[in-house]
């Protein structure tokens, strides 16, 4: 079960990095990713760069 939390946290950090690369708030995307995980990954990848 601990591996699940580590993976989820790592995914949130990756999403924050992707979001910052697209000129979006890394903190907001990190927090969103903690709540919805892979759905946030899909959203940040699809989102247009600002």
Residue 34 CA to its chain's centroid (Å)? 8
Determine what percent of the chain falls in helix, strand and coil, rounding each to the nearest 5.
80, 0, 20
Provide the pLDDT for residue 2: 85
Residue 9 has pLDDT above 90, yes or no: yes
* pLDDT value for 5: 92
Share of the chain above pLDDT 90, in %: 84
Residue 50 · residue 23 · CB < 8 Å: yes
Alpha-carbon distance 22 to 28, whole Å?
13
d(CA 32, CA 40): 7
pLDDT surpasses 90 at 48: no
pLDDT tens per residue, range 15-35: 999 999 999 999 999 999 999
């Amino acid at each position: 079960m601990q591996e699940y939390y580590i993976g989820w946290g790592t995914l949130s950090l990756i999403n924050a990095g992707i979001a910052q690369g697209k000129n979006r708030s890394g903190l907001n995307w990190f927090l969103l990713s903690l709540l919805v995980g892979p759905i946030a990954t899909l959203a940040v990848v699809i989102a247009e760069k600002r």
